[in-house]
Amino acid sequence: MIENLDKLLNRMSRPLSLIETELLYDSNRIVYERSDLYIDFILTLNDLIETTYFGHDMMDEQQRINHYDWCWNKVCDLVNTKVIKFNNNDSAYVYLLDTYLESFYNDKTIVIHLKNFWGHIFNYNIKKSKPEIDTYLRIYKIFEDSYNKKVY
């Protein structure tokens, strides 16, 4: 049984080939242009959060959430179009709020630089493990709710 667990863990952590990755993207109907828009949104939000945050000693929990809300709304105002409405996407809002509360706002000793993480997750040209691909697909699908699918 332990041997099977070791095999499973090794399989999960090994990078998938670029062909395997591309097949997963194709089977999940990834639209690369929208994916590029989603990463641009995330990186813009990340930059605004990092450059306007006063620090842990200056803001309590509610002020941190207010800061995130302000950053979210600013980025939505910049990026929203007739077809894409990020501020109507509660799932993306909550996912990113949770991520930033966990790894940026509430970490008083180490600030994790999420910009590198997002860049890695959204990079199509590098090998990734299955969990990394799963993270990308989950974020992509969350952001797809921002895209107004019109039926004519």
Check: CB of residue 146 under 8 Å from CB of residue 84. Answer: yes
Going from the C-alpha of 70 to that of each of 25, 74, 78, 98, 144, the distances in angstroms are 33, 6, 13, 15, 22
Domain ranges, ordered by start, for the chain: 33-144
According to DSSP H, which parts of 2-113 are helical? 2-13, 18-27, 32-52, 61-79, 90-100
**Per-residue pLDDT tens digits of the chain, which is 152 residues long:** 555 544 544 555 678 888 888 888 899 999 989 999 999 999 999 999 989 988 777 888 898 999 999 999 999 999 888 888 888 899 999 999 999 988 887 765 555 678 888 999 999 888 889 899 999 999 999 999 887 654 33
Residue matched to tokens 């996407």: 89
pTM: 0.82
Instruction: List beta partners, residue 129.
Output: 15
The interaxial angle of helices 32-52 and 90-100, nearest 10 deg, is: 50
